[in-house]
Protein backbone atom coordinates (compact mmCIF):
# COMPACT_ATOMS: atom_id res chain seq x y z
CA UNK A 1 0.00 0.00 0.00
CA UNK A 2 3.06 2.24 0.19
CA UNK A 3 4.11 4.50 -2.68
CA UNK A 4 7.41 3.97 -4.49
CA UNK A 5 9.16 6.26 -6.99
CA UNK A 6 12.60 6.21 -8.60
CA UNK A 7 14.44 8.22 -11.22
CA UNK A 8 17.57 7.87 -13.34
CA UNK A 9 18.17 10.63 -15.84
CA UNK A 10 19.80 13.92 -16.70
CA UNK A 11 17.77 16.18 -14.42
CA UNK A 12 18.10 16.84 -10.72
CA UNK A 13 16.26 13.99 -9.06
CA UNK A 14 15.02 15.54 -5.79
CA UNK A 15 12.28 17.77 -7.29
CA UNK A 16 11.09 14.84 -9.42
CA UNK A 17 11.01 12.43 -6.48
CA UNK A 18 9.13 14.89 -4.25
CA UNK A 19 6.59 15.80 -6.95
CA UNK A 20 6.00 12.14 -7.79
CA UNK A 21 5.64 11.16 -4.12
CA UNK A 22 3.00 13.83 -3.60
CA UNK A 23 0.96 12.19 -6.35
CA UNK A 24 1.24 8.86 -4.53
CA UNK A 25 0.45 10.06 -1.04
CA UNK A 26 -2.98 8.41 -1.23
CA UNK A 27 -1.06 5.11 -0.96
CA UNK A 28 0.36 5.99 2.46
CA UNK A 29 1.22 9.01 4.55
CA UNK A 30 2.69 7.74 7.83
CA UNK A 31 6.25 8.68 6.87
CA UNK A 32 8.32 9.52 3.80
CA UNK A 33 11.90 9.48 2.61
CA UNK A 34 14.31 9.69 -0.31
CA UNK A 35 17.78 8.37 -1.15
CA UNK A 36 19.92 10.16 -3.75
CA UNK A 37 23.37 9.33 -5.12
CA UNK A 38 25.30 12.61 -4.97
CA UNK A 39 28.27 11.40 -7.02
CA UNK A 40 30.19 10.13 -4.01
CA UNK A 41 27.68 8.42 -1.72
CA UNK A 42 23.98 7.74 -1.26
CA UNK A 43 22.33 10.41 0.91
CA UNK A 44 19.22 9.33 2.82
CA UNK A 45 16.69 11.76 4.28
CA UNK A 46 13.43 10.64 5.87
CA UNK A 47 10.97 11.51 8.61
CA UNK A 48 7.60 10.58 10.03
CA UNK A 49 4.59 12.45 8.69
CA UNK A 50 3.76 13.55 5.18
CA UNK A 51 5.71 14.70 2.16
CA UNK A 52 5.50 18.36 3.22
CA UNK A 53 7.16 17.41 6.50
CA UNK A 54 9.97 15.72 4.60
CA UNK A 55 10.45 18.78 2.38
CA UNK A 56 11.06 20.97 5.42
CA UNK A 57 14.12 18.96 6.49
CA UNK A 58 15.72 18.41 3.09
CA UNK A 59 19.08 20.07 2.54
CA UNK A 60 20.35 20.98 -0.91
CA UNK A 61 21.17 17.70 -2.64
CA UNK A 62 22.69 17.33 -6.10
CA UNK A 63 22.16 14.08 -7.95
CA UNK A 64 20.42 12.61 -10.97
CA UNK A 65 19.53 9.17 -9.61
CA UNK A 66 17.39 8.40 -6.57
CA UNK A 67 14.49 6.56 -4.95
CA UNK A 68 11.59 7.73 -2.79
CA UNK A 69 8.87 6.27 -0.59
CA UNK A 70 5.69 7.29 1.19
CA UNK A 71 4.67 4.74 3.81
CA UNK A 72 1.54 3.06 5.07
CA UNK A 73 2.81 1.19 8.12
CA UNK A 74 2.33 -2.59 8.02
CA UNK A 75 5.23 -3.63 10.25
CA UNK A 76 6.78 -1.29 12.77
CA UNK A 77 5.42 1.97 14.12
CA UNK A 78 5.18 5.04 11.87
CA UNK A 79 8.33 6.88 12.95
CA UNK A 80 11.58 8.17 11.45
CA UNK A 81 13.59 5.01 12.15
CA UNK A 82 11.04 2.78 10.42
CA UNK A 83 10.59 5.14 7.48
CA UNK A 84 12.03 4.09 4.12
CA UNK A 85 14.55 4.03 2.48
CA UNK A 86 16.45 1.42 4.48
CA UNK A 87 20.15 1.00 3.97
CA UNK A 88 22.95 -1.51 4.31
CA UNK A 89 26.43 -0.51 3.26
CA UNK A 90 26.09 1.30 -0.06
CA UNK A 91 22.64 -0.19 -0.70
CA UNK A 92 19.38 1.79 -0.25
CA UNK A 93 15.97 0.13 -0.65
CA UNK A 94 12.31 1.19 -0.78
CA UNK A 95 9.68 -1.53 -0.56
CA UNK A 96 5.94 -2.10 -0.72
CA UNK A 97 4.67 -5.47 0.48
CA UNK A 98 5.24 -7.97 3.27
CA UNK A 99 8.19 -10.32 3.74
CA UNK A 100 6.59 -13.34 5.39
CA UNK A 101 9.86 -15.08 6.37
CA UNK A 102 11.25 -11.86 7.79
CA UNK A 103 12.07 -13.27 11.24
CA UNK A 104 14.02 -16.26 9.96
CA UNK A 105 16.03 -14.04 7.61
CA UNK A 106 16.64 -11.49 10.34
CA UNK A 107 17.93 -14.16 12.70
CA UNK A 108 20.28 -15.51 10.02
CA UNK A 109 21.54 -12.06 9.04
CA UNK A 110 22.08 -11.09 12.68
CA UNK A 111 24.25 -14.18 13.17
CA UNK A 112 26.15 -13.12 10.05
CA UNK A 113 27.03 -9.80 11.68
CA UNK A 114 24.38 -7.44 10.31
CA UNK A 115 22.91 -4.92 12.77
CA UNK A 116 19.19 -4.03 12.58
CA UNK A 117 18.02 -0.61 13.69
CA UNK A 118 14.36 -0.66 12.62
CA UNK A 119 11.28 -2.80 13.32
CA UNK A 120 10.51 -3.27 9.62
CA UNK A 121 10.74 -6.32 7.41
CA UNK A 122 12.24 -4.17 4.63
CA UNK A 123 15.56 -3.80 6.43
CA UNK A 124 16.04 -7.55 5.90
CA UNK A 125 15.97 -6.95 2.16
CA UNK A 126 18.57 -4.18 2.33
CA UNK A 127 20.97 -6.43 4.27
CA UNK A 128 20.29 -9.39 1.98
CA UNK A 129 21.12 -7.39 -1.14
CA UNK A 130 24.25 -6.04 0.53
CA UNK A 131 25.21 -9.58 1.50
CA UNK A 132 25.03 -10.75 -2.12
CA UNK A 133 26.40 -7.61 -3.76
CA UNK A 134 29.53 -8.10 -5.85
CA UNK A 135 29.72 -5.04 -8.11
CA UNK A 136 26.49 -5.97 -9.94
CA UNK A 137 23.28 -4.70 -8.36
CA UNK A 138 20.94 -6.62 -10.68
CA UNK A 139 22.54 -9.95 -9.74
CA UNK A 140 22.44 -9.08 -6.04
CA UNK A 141 18.75 -8.13 -6.14
CA UNK A 142 17.78 -11.24 -8.09
CA UNK A 143 19.68 -13.50 -5.68
CA UNK A 144 18.25 -11.79 -2.60
CA UNK A 145 14.68 -12.01 -3.86
CA UNK A 146 14.99 -15.78 -4.22
CA UNK A 147 15.30 -15.89 -0.41
CA UNK A 148 12.13 -13.83 0.07
CA UNK A 149 8.70 -15.29 0.76
CA UNK A 150 5.86 -12.82 0.45
CA UNK A 151 5.04 -9.83 -1.71
CA UNK A 152 7.17 -6.96 -2.88
CA UNK A 153 7.61 -4.02 -5.15
CA UNK A 154 11.12 -2.67 -4.67
CA UNK A 155 13.44 -0.02 -6.00
CA UNK A 156 17.13 -0.25 -5.07
CA UNK A 157 20.11 2.03 -5.68
CA UNK A 158 23.80 1.47 -5.20
CA UNK A 159 25.92 4.30 -6.55
CA UNK A 160 24.72 4.99 -10.10
CA UNK A 161 22.85 1.67 -10.43
CA UNK A 162 19.04 1.50 -10.15
CA UNK A 163 17.12 -1.79 -10.06
CA UNK A 164 13.40 -2.47 -9.57
CA UNK A 165 11.38 -5.68 -9.13
CA UNK A 166 7.89 -6.84 -8.24
CA UNK A 167 5.81 -9.74 -7.00
CA UNK A 168 2.13 -9.29 -6.07
CA UNK A 169 2.58 -5.51 -5.70
CA UNK A 170 2.21 -3.05 -8.59
CA UNK A 171 5.15 -1.32 -10.27
CA UNK A 172 5.40 0.55 -13.58
CA UNK A 173 8.41 1.91 -15.45
CA UNK A 174 8.11 5.25 -17.21
CA UNK A 175 10.12 5.69 -20.40
CA UNK A 176 11.50 9.14 -21.20
CA UNK A 177 14.17 10.77 -23.38
CA UNK A 178 17.49 10.32 -21.60
CA UNK A 179 15.63 9.53 -18.39
CA UNK A 180 13.51 6.72 -16.95
CA UNK A 181 11.17 6.45 -14.00
CA UNK A 182 9.73 3.87 -11.59
CA UNK A 183 6.46 4.25 -9.71
CA UNK A 184 3.78 2.30 -7.89
CA UNK A 185 1.08 3.94 -9.95
CA UNK A 186 0.85 5.86 -13.23
CA UNK A 187 -0.33 9.26 -11.84
CA UNK A 188 3.02 9.67 -10.09
CA UNK A 189 4.86 10.08 -13.39
CA UNK A 190 2.21 11.56 -15.70
CA UNK A 191 3.96 14.93 -15.44
CA UNK A 192 7.04 13.46 -17.12
CA UNK A 193 6.00 10.70 -19.50
CA UNK A 194 3.00 8.83 -20.87
CA UNK A 195 5.03 5.85 -22.04
CA UNK A 196 5.02 3.02 -19.50
CA UNK A 197 6.01 -0.61 -19.12
CA UNK A 198 4.03 -2.76 -16.70
CA UNK A 199 6.31 -5.09 -14.79
CA UNK A 200 4.95 -8.59 -14.29
CA UNK A 201 5.46 -10.77 -11.23
CA UNK A 202 9.02 -12.01 -10.68
CA UNK A 203 10.50 -9.63 -13.24
CA UNK A 204 13.56 -7.52 -12.42
CA UNK A 205 14.45 -4.29 -14.26
CA UNK A 206 17.81 -2.57 -14.55
CA UNK A 207 17.10 1.10 -15.22
CA UNK A 208 19.77 3.31 -16.80
CA UNK A 209 19.35 6.84 -18.16
CA UNK A 210 19.07 5.73 -21.76
CA UNK A 211 17.68 2.21 -21.59
CA UNK A 212 15.77 -0.33 -19.49
CA UNK A 213 16.65 -4.02 -19.36
CA UNK A 214 14.11 -6.49 -17.94
CA UNK A 215 14.84 -10.05 -16.87
CA UNK A 216 12.99 -13.10 -15.62
CA UNK A 217 14.12 -15.12 -12.60
CA UNK A 218 16.71 -16.96 -14.72
CA UNK A 219 18.12 -13.64 -15.99
CA UNK A 220 16.74 -14.21 -19.46
CA UNK A 221 15.94 -10.93 -21.20
CA UNK A 222 12.21 -10.19 -21.43
CA UNK A 223 10.77 -8.09 -24.26
CA UNK A 224 8.04 -5.78 -22.99
CA UNK A 225 5.42 -3.68 -24.72
CA UNK A 226 5.53 0.07 -24.15
CA UNK A 227 2.01 1.36 -23.51
CA UNK A 228 0.93 4.93 -24.27
CA UNK A 229 -1.25 6.14 -21.41
CA UNK A 230 -4.20 8.32 -22.35
CA UNK A 231 -4.75 10.16 -19.08
CA UNK A 232 -4.87 13.87 -18.29
CA UNK A 233 -2.57 15.07 -15.50
CA UNK A 234 -5.42 17.36 -14.42
CA UNK A 235 -7.34 14.23 -13.39
CA UNK A 236 -4.73 13.75 -10.66
CA UNK A 237 -5.00 17.35 -9.39
CA UNK A 238 -7.65 19.11 -7.30
CA UNK A 239 -8.55 21.65 -10.01
CA UNK A 240 -9.85 24.22 -7.52
CA UNK A 241 -11.74 21.81 -5.25
CA UNK A 242 -10.88 21.80 -1.55
CA UNK A 243 -10.49 18.03 -1.51
CA UNK A 244 -9.95 15.29 -4.06
CA UNK A 245 -13.00 13.51 -2.67
CA UNK A 246 -15.30 16.44 -3.46
CA UNK A 247 -13.78 16.77 -6.94
CA UNK A 248 -14.27 13.06 -7.58
CA UNK A 249 -17.88 13.16 -6.36
CA UNK A 250 -18.46 15.92 -8.92
CA UNK A 251 -16.72 13.87 -11.61
CA UNK A 252 -19.22 11.03 -11.27
CA UNK A 253 -21.58 12.13 -14.05
CA UNK A 254 -18.63 12.21 -16.45
CA UNK A 255 -17.22 8.89 -15.16
CA UNK A 256 -20.63 7.24 -15.59
CA UNK A 257 -21.01 8.68 -19.08
CA UNK A 258 -17.52 7.51 -20.08
CA UNK A 259 -18.24 4.02 -18.77
CA UNK A 260 -21.39 3.89 -20.93
CA UNK A 261 -19.81 5.48 -24.01
CA UNK A 262 -19.82 3.25 -27.07
CA UNK A 263 -21.33 0.35 -25.17
CA UNK A 264 -25.07 0.93 -25.53
CA UNK A 265 -27.67 1.83 -28.13
CA UNK A 266 -30.98 2.62 -26.48
CA UNK A 267 -32.65 2.93 -29.90
CA UNK A 268 -31.74 -0.64 -30.84
CA UNK A 269 -31.71 -2.08 -27.32
CA UNK A 270 -28.12 -3.30 -27.72
CA UNK A 271 -25.23 -3.59 -25.26
CA UNK A 272 -21.70 -4.24 -26.53
CA UNK A 273 -19.04 -4.96 -23.93
CA UNK A 274 -15.45 -4.84 -25.12
CA UNK A 275 -13.30 -7.38 -23.32
CA UNK A 276 -16.15 -9.76 -22.45
CA UNK A 277 -14.90 -13.08 -23.81
CA UNK A 278 -17.95 -15.17 -22.97
CA UNK A 279 -20.00 -16.80 -25.69
CA UNK A 280 -23.76 -16.54 -25.70
CA UNK A 281 -23.99 -20.28 -25.09
CA UNK A 282 -21.78 -19.95 -22.02
CA UNK A 283 -24.01 -17.17 -20.70
CA UNK A 284 -27.20 -19.11 -21.44
CA UNK A 285 -25.93 -22.21 -19.62
CA UNK A 286 -24.57 -20.34 -16.60
CA UNK A 287 -26.20 -21.55 -13.41
CA UNK A 288 -24.02 -19.87 -10.78
CA UNK A 289 -22.06 -16.64 -10.41
CA UNK A 290 -19.75 -15.58 -7.58
CA UNK A 291 -18.88 -11.93 -7.04
CA UNK A 292 -15.68 -11.37 -5.08
CA UNK A 293 -14.45 -8.05 -3.71
CA UNK A 294 -13.37 -6.03 -0.66
CA UNK A 295 -14.64 -2.83 0.95
CA UNK A 296 -16.53 -0.47 -1.33
CA UNK A 297 -16.16 -2.91 -4.23
CA UNK A 298 -17.92 -5.55 -2.10
CA UNK A 299 -20.86 -3.18 -1.67
CA UNK A 300 -20.95 -2.77 -5.45
CA UNK A 301 -20.97 -6.56 -5.79
CA UNK A 302 -23.84 -6.86 -3.34
CA UNK A 303 -25.93 -4.53 -5.46
CA UNK A 304 -24.78 -6.56 -8.45
CA UNK A 305 -26.36 -9.62 -6.81
CA UNK A 306 -29.78 -7.92 -6.76
CA UNK A 307 -29.33 -6.71 -10.34
CA UNK A 308 -28.33 -10.10 -11.75
CA UNK A 309 -30.99 -12.01 -9.86
CA UNK A 310 -33.66 -9.60 -11.11
CA UNK A 311 -32.39 -9.64 -14.70
CA UNK A 312 -31.37 -13.30 -15.08
CA UNK A 313 -32.93 -15.31 -12.20
CA UNK A 314 -29.43 -16.79 -11.77
CA UNK A 315 -28.19 -17.64 -8.28
CA UNK A 316 -25.51 -15.15 -7.19
CA UNK A 317 -23.15 -15.40 -4.23
CA UNK A 318 -21.26 -12.32 -3.06
CA UNK A 319 -18.27 -12.90 -0.83
CA UNK A 320 -15.49 -10.95 0.83
CA UNK A 321 -12.31 -11.80 -1.05
CA UNK A 322 -10.26 -12.52 2.06
CA UNK A 323 -12.81 -15.18 3.04
CA UNK A 324 -13.57 -16.60 -0.39
CA UNK A 325 -9.96 -17.59 -0.96
CA UNK A 326 -10.31 -20.22 1.77
CA UNK A 327 -13.56 -21.62 0.36
CA UNK A 328 -14.10 -24.00 -2.55
CA UNK A 329 -15.37 -22.82 -5.93
CA UNK A 330 -17.68 -24.77 -8.18
CA UNK A 331 -15.93 -25.68 -11.45
CA UNK A 332 -17.60 -24.09 -14.45
CA UNK A 333 -19.17 -21.22 -12.52
CA UNK A 334 -18.37 -17.60 -13.34
CA UNK A 335 -16.35 -15.62 -10.81
CA UNK A 336 -16.57 -11.84 -11.15
CA UNK A 337 -13.81 -10.02 -9.27
CA UNK A 338 -14.25 -6.31 -8.59
CA UNK A 339 -11.22 -4.18 -7.74
CA UNK A 340 -10.68 -0.47 -8.27
CA UNK A 341 -6.91 -0.83 -8.59
CA UNK A 342 -6.72 -4.29 -10.12
CA UNK A 343 -4.02 -5.00 -7.54
CA UNK A 344 -6.03 -5.74 -4.37
CA UNK A 345 -4.07 -8.55 -2.71
CA UNK A 346 -6.96 -10.55 -1.26
CA UNK A 347 -9.02 -10.22 -4.44
CA UNK A 348 -6.07 -11.36 -6.51
CA UNK A 349 -5.54 -14.38 -4.25
CA UNK A 350 -9.25 -15.25 -4.49
CA UNK A 351 -9.06 -14.95 -8.28
CA UNK A 352 -6.18 -17.40 -8.41
CA UNK A 353 -8.07 -19.81 -6.16
CA UNK A 354 -11.06 -19.61 -8.51
CA UNK A 355 -8.95 -20.21 -11.60
CA UNK A 356 -7.30 -23.23 -10.00
CA UNK A 357 -10.80 -24.64 -9.42
CA UNK A 358 -11.68 -24.37 -13.10
CA UNK A 359 -13.93 -21.31 -12.91
CA UNK A 360 -14.44 -18.78 -15.68
CA UNK A 361 -13.23 -15.37 -14.52
CA UNK A 362 -14.22 -11.78 -15.25
CA UNK A 363 -12.75 -8.59 -13.79
CA UNK A 364 -14.33 -5.18 -13.28
CA UNK A 365 -11.53 -2.69 -12.68
CA UNK A 366 -10.34 0.83 -13.40
CA UNK A 367 -6.67 0.24 -14.20
CA UNK A 368 -5.48 -1.06 -17.55
CA UNK A 369 -2.46 -3.35 -17.34
CA UNK A 370 -3.03 -4.14 -13.64
CA UNK A 371 -2.25 -7.64 -12.41
CA UNK A 372 -5.86 -8.78 -12.21
CA UNK A 373 -6.54 -7.74 -15.81
CA UNK A 374 -3.65 -9.88 -17.00
CA UNK A 375 -4.88 -13.00 -15.17
CA UNK A 376 -8.62 -13.08 -15.89
CA UNK A 377 -10.42 -14.52 -18.91
CA UNK A 378 -12.46 -11.33 -19.46
CA UNK A 379 -12.23 -7.74 -18.27
CA UNK A 380 -14.64 -4.80 -18.46
CA UNK A 381 -13.05 -1.46 -17.57
CA UNK A 382 -14.81 1.25 -15.61
CA UNK A 383 -13.16 4.28 -17.31
CA UNK A 384 -13.25 6.44 -14.18
CA UNK A 385 -9.85 8.06 -14.63
CA UNK A 386 -7.44 8.37 -11.68
CA UNK A 387 -9.05 8.45 -8.24
CA UNK A 388 -6.81 10.05 -5.62
CA UNK A 389 -9.08 10.33 -2.56
CA UNK A 390 -8.74 7.28 -0.33
CA UNK A 391 -12.53 6.96 0.02
CA UNK A 392 -13.81 5.53 -3.27
CA UNK A 393 -16.54 7.56 -4.97
CA UNK A 394 -16.45 7.75 -8.77
CA UNK A 395 -14.93 4.29 -9.05
CA UNK A 396 -17.88 2.89 -7.07
CA UNK A 397 -20.37 4.59 -9.39
CA UNK A 398 -18.52 3.28 -12.44
CA UNK A 399 -18.44 -0.25 -10.99
CA UNK A 400 -22.20 -0.03 -10.58
CA UNK A 401 -22.52 1.14 -14.17
CA UNK A 402 -20.64 -1.93 -15.42
CA UNK A 403 -22.72 -4.22 -13.21
CA UNK A 404 -25.93 -2.74 -14.65
CA UNK A 405 -24.63 -3.31 -18.18
CA UNK A 406 -23.54 -6.87 -17.44
CA UNK A 407 -26.79 -7.83 -15.72
CA UNK A 408 -28.92 -6.38 -18.51
CA UNK A 409 -26.75 -7.99 -21.18
CA UNK A 410 -26.90 -11.40 -19.49
CA UNK A 411 -30.66 -11.03 -19.06
CA UNK A 412 -31.11 -10.25 -22.75
CA UNK A 413 -28.92 -13.17 -23.87
CA UNK A 414 -30.78 -15.55 -21.56
CA UNK A 415 -34.13 -14.38 -22.89
CA UNK A 416 -35.31 -12.89 -19.58
CA UNK A 417 -35.37 -9.30 -20.89
CA UNK A 418 -37.25 -8.52 -24.09
CA UNK A 419 -36.27 -5.86 -26.59
CA UNK A 420 -38.83 -3.27 -25.47
CA UNK A 421 -37.81 -3.51 -21.84
CA UNK A 422 -34.13 -3.31 -22.79
CA UNK A 423 -34.70 -0.12 -24.79
CA UNK A 424 -36.60 1.43 -21.88
CA UNK A 425 -33.92 0.49 -19.36
CA UNK A 426 -31.07 1.78 -21.50
CA UNK A 427 -32.88 5.05 -22.13
CA UNK A 428 -33.29 5.48 -18.36
CA UNK A 429 -29.68 4.50 -17.74
CA UNK A 430 -28.51 7.16 -20.16
CA UNK A 431 -30.32 9.82 -18.09
CA UNK A 432 -28.42 9.01 -14.91
CA UNK A 433 -25.48 11.45 -15.44
CA UNK A 434 -27.86 14.41 -15.86
CA UNK A 435 -29.83 13.29 -12.80
CA UNK A 436 -26.62 13.07 -10.76
CA UNK A 437 -25.78 16.60 -11.84
CA UNK A 438 -29.14 17.82 -10.52
CA UNK A 439 -28.30 16.36 -7.11
CA UNK A 440 -24.83 17.95 -7.16
CA UNK A 441 -26.41 21.31 -7.98
CA UNK A 442 -28.47 20.92 -4.80
CA UNK A 443 -25.50 20.11 -2.58
CA UNK A 444 -25.94 23.17 -0.31
CA UNK A 445 -29.18 21.68 1.05
CA UNK A 446 -27.37 18.38 1.69
CA UNK A 447 -24.52 20.30 3.36
CA UNK A 448 -26.96 22.05 5.71
CA UNK A 449 -28.49 18.75 6.83
CA UNK A 450 -25.07 17.14 7.23
CA UNK A 451 -23.84 19.89 9.53
CA UNK A 452 -26.64 19.05 11.96
CA UNK A 453 -25.00 15.66 12.52
CA UNK A 454 -21.37 16.74 12.95
CA UNK A 455 -21.39 16.12 16.70
CA UNK A 456 -23.06 12.70 16.49
CA UNK A 457 -21.17 9.67 17.76
CA UNK A 458 -23.31 6.98 16.15
CA UNK A 459 -25.22 6.72 12.90
CA UNK A 460 -27.50 4.28 11.10
CA UNK A 461 -28.16 3.93 7.37
CA UNK A 462 -31.08 1.71 6.41
CA UNK A 463 -32.50 0.48 3.11
CA UNK A 464 -34.16 -2.52 1.52
CA UNK A 465 -33.34 -4.64 -1.57
CA UNK A 466 -31.47 -2.41 -4.07
CA UNK A 467 -30.93 0.24 -1.41
CA UNK A 468 -29.46 -2.04 1.24
CA UNK A 469 -25.97 -2.04 -0.37
CA UNK A 470 -26.13 1.77 -0.52
CA UNK A 471 -26.90 1.85 3.21
CA UNK A 472 -23.73 -0.21 3.72
CA UNK A 473 -21.77 2.12 1.46
CA UNK A 474 -23.08 5.24 3.22
CA UNK A 475 -22.03 3.84 6.59
CA UNK A 476 -18.61 2.88 5.23
CA UNK A 477 -18.00 6.35 3.79
CA UNK A 478 -18.97 8.01 7.05
CA UNK A 479 -16.70 5.72 9.07
CA UNK A 480 -13.78 6.20 6.70
CA UNK A 481 -13.62 9.96 6.60
CA UNK A 482 -15.43 11.31 9.70
CA UNK A 483 -14.49 8.59 12.27
CA UNK A 484 -18.13 8.37 13.39
CA UNK A 485 -19.33 4.90 14.27
CA UNK A 486 -21.88 4.04 11.61
CA UNK A 487 -23.85 0.94 10.67
CA UNK A 488 -25.64 0.02 7.48
CA UNK A 489 -28.57 -2.37 7.79
CA UNK A 490 -31.36 -3.90 5.76
CA UNK A 491 -34.27 -2.07 7.35
CA UNK A 492 -36.20 -5.28 8.08
CA UNK A 493 -33.39 -6.44 10.38
CA UNK A 494 -33.73 -3.59 12.87
CA UNK A 495 -36.20 -5.45 15.04
CA UNK A 496 -33.81 -8.41 15.25
CA UNK A 497 -31.35 -6.59 17.49
CA UNK A 498 -30.09 -3.25 16.16
CA UNK A 499 -33.24 -1.41 17.26
CA UNK A 500 -31.86 -1.64 20.81
CA UNK A 501 -29.25 0.94 19.81
CA UNK A 502 -31.69 3.49 18.40
CA UNK A 503 -32.20 6.56 20.61
CA UNK A 504 -32.86 10.25 20.12
CA UNK A 505 -29.10 10.75 19.86
CA UNK A 506 -28.66 8.36 16.92
CA UNK A 507 -29.52 9.90 13.52
CA UNK A 508 -30.89 7.55 10.87
CA UNK A 509 -30.58 7.96 7.11
CA UNK A 510 -33.46 6.06 5.51
CA UNK A 511 -33.06 5.35 1.79
CA UNK A 512 -36.73 5.22 0.83
CA UNK A 513 -37.04 5.63 -2.90
CA UNK A 514 -40.14 4.23 -4.58
CA UNK A 515 -40.19 0.53 -5.35
CA UNK A 516 -41.58 -2.87 -4.48
CA UNK A 517 -40.60 -2.60 -0.81
CA UNK A 518 -41.54 1.05 -0.29
CA UNK A 519 -44.49 0.34 2.03
CA UNK A 520 -42.39 -2.01 4.15
CA UNK A 521 -39.67 0.65 4.31
CA UNK A 522 -42.18 3.20 5.60
CA UNK A 523 -43.16 0.77 8.36
CA UNK A 524 -39.49 0.37 9.31
CA UNK A 525 -39.14 4.17 9.46
CA UNK A 526 -42.12 4.30 11.82
CA UNK A 527 -40.36 1.79 14.09
CA UNK A 528 -37.33 4.06 14.22
CA UNK A 529 -39.37 7.18 14.85
CA UNK A 530 -41.15 5.43 17.72
CA UNK A 531 -37.71 5.33 19.43
CA UNK A 532 -37.34 9.13 19.00
CA UNK A 533 -34.55 8.99 16.42
CA UNK A 534 -34.05 11.85 13.98
CA UNK A 535 -34.77 10.43 10.53
CA UNK A 536 -33.52 11.95 7.30
CA UNK A 537 -35.05 10.25 4.28
CA UNK A 538 -33.67 10.01 0.77
CA UNK A 539 -36.77 9.84 -1.40
CA UNK A 540 -37.70 10.51 -5.00
CA UNK A 541 -39.17 13.81 -6.07
CA UNK A 542 -42.61 12.33 -6.84
CA UNK A 543 -43.13 10.92 -3.35
CA UNK A 544 -45.78 13.00 -1.56
CA UNK A 545 -46.11 10.66 1.46
CA UNK A 546 -42.69 10.29 3.03
CA UNK A 547 -42.68 13.71 4.73
CA UNK A 548 -45.42 12.49 7.07
CA UNK A 549 -43.10 9.94 8.67
CA UNK A 550 -39.66 11.58 8.85
CA UNK A 551 -37.99 14.74 10.11
CA UNK A 552 -36.43 15.82 6.82
CA UNK A 553 -36.21 14.72 3.17
CA UNK A 554 -33.55 14.97 0.50
CA UNK A 555 -35.08 14.49 -2.93
CA UNK A 556 -33.57 12.62 -5.86
CA UNK A 557 -34.92 12.47 -9.43
CA UNK A 558 -37.44 9.74 -10.16
CA UNK A 559 -36.10 6.82 -12.22
CA UNK A 560 -36.47 3.06 -12.61
CA UNK A 561 -36.41 1.36 -9.19
CA UNK A 562 -33.22 -0.57 -9.92
CA UNK A 563 -31.35 2.61 -11.01
CA UNK A 564 -32.25 4.75 -8.01
CA UNK A 565 -29.32 3.43 -5.88
CA UNK A 566 -26.88 5.40 -8.04
CA UNK A 567 -28.66 8.63 -7.21
CA UNK A 568 -28.90 7.80 -3.51
CA UNK A 569 -25.17 7.06 -3.58
CA UNK A 570 -24.34 10.65 -4.51
CA UNK A 571 -26.43 11.88 -1.56
CA UNK A 572 -24.78 9.62 1.05
CA UNK A 573 -21.34 10.54 -0.30
CA UNK A 574 -22.07 14.25 0.09
CA UNK A 575 -23.55 13.75 3.57
CA UNK A 576 -20.40 11.91 4.65
CA UNK A 577 -18.13 14.50 3.05
CA UNK A 578 -19.79 17.50 4.69
CA UNK A 579 -19.99 15.84 8.10
CA UNK A 580 -16.26 15.08 7.91
CA UNK A 581 -15.52 18.64 6.78
CA UNK A 582 -17.52 20.06 9.70
CA UNK A 583 -15.45 17.88 12.04
CA UNK A 584 -12.17 19.13 10.45
CA UNK A 585 -11.12 15.62 9.46
CA UNK A 586 -8.34 14.96 6.90
CA UNK A 587 -10.83 13.85 4.26
CA UNK A 588 -8.50 12.71 1.48
CA UNK A 589 -6.12 10.91 3.84
CA UNK A 590 -8.08 9.31 6.69
CA UNK A 591 -6.07 7.80 9.49
CA UNK A 592 -4.84 4.21 9.21
CA UNK A 593 -6.10 3.86 5.62
CA UNK A 594 -4.55 3.89 2.17
CA UNK A 595 -5.97 3.77 -1.34
CA UNK A 596 -4.70 0.51 -2.79
CA UNK A 597 -4.61 -2.49 -0.44
CA UNK A 598 -1.80 -4.57 -1.90
CA UNK A 599 -1.02 -6.55 1.25
CA UNK A 600 -3.14 -9.30 2.77
**Would you please indicate which residues are annotated as catalytic (active-site) residues?**
2, 595
Cα separation of 209 and 206, whole Å?
Answer: 10
Phi and psi for 51 in degrees, rounded to 5?
Answer: -60, -40
- For residue 322, CA distances in Å to 15, 344, 348, 370, 597 come to 39, 10, 10, 19, 12
Cα separation of 372 and 357, whole Å?
Answer: 17
- Kindly state the DSSP code that residue 330 receives in the 8-state scheme: P
* Inter-residue contact 134 to 90 (CB < 8 Å): no
For the CA atoms of 509, 513, 517, 521, what is the dihedral angle to 10 degrees? 30
Indicate the helix (H) or strand (E) that contains 433: helix 432-440
In 179-332, which residue ranges form alpha helices assigned H by DSSP? 244-250, 252-260, 280-284, 295-312, 321-324
Indicate the helix (H) or strand (E) that contains 430: helix 419-430
Distance in angstroms between the alpha carbons of the first and the last residue of the chain: 10
Phi and psi for 376 in degrees, rounded to 5?
Answer: -90, 165
* Inter-residue contact 355 to 327 (CB < 8 Å): no
Classify 232 in phi/psi space as left (phi over 0), alpha (psi -120 to 50) or beta: beta
Sheet holding 180-183: strands in order across?
A: 42-48, 31-37, 65-71, 3-8, 180-183, 172-175, 195-198, 227-228
- Kindly state the DSSP code that residue 147 receives in the 8-state scheme: T
Nearest alpha-carbon partner for 511 in 478, 546, 482, 481: 546
Nearest alpha-carbon partner for 36 in 73, 5, 61: 61
- Helices H, strands E: what count in the chain? 19, 26
Half-sphere exposure of 522 (CA within 13 A, CB side): 14
* Inter-residue contact 336 to 291 (CB < 8 Å): yes
Nearest alpha-carbon partner for 22 in 45, 51, 2: 51
- With H, G, I as helix, E, B as strand and everything else as coil, classify residue 214: strand
Indicate the helix (H) or strand (E) that contains 3: strand 3-8
* Inter-residue contact 344 to 596 (CB < 8 Å): yes
Amino acid sequence: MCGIVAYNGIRQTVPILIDSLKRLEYRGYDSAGIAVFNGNAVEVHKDKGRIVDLEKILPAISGTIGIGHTRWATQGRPNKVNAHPHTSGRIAVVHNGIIENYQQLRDWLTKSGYVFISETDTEVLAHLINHYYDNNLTDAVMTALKDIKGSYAVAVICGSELVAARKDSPLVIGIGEGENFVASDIPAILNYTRKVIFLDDLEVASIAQDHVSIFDTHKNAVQKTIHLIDLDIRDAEKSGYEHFMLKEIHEQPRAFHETLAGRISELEGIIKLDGLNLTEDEIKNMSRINMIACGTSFNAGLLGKYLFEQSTYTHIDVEIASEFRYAHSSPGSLVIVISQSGETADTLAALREAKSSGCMTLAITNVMGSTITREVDSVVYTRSGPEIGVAATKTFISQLCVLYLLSLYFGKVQGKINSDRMKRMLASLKQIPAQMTRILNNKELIKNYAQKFASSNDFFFIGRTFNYPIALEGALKLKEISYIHAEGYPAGELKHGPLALITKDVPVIAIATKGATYDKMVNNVKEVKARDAYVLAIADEKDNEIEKYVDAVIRVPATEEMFSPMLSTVVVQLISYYIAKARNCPIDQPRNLAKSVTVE
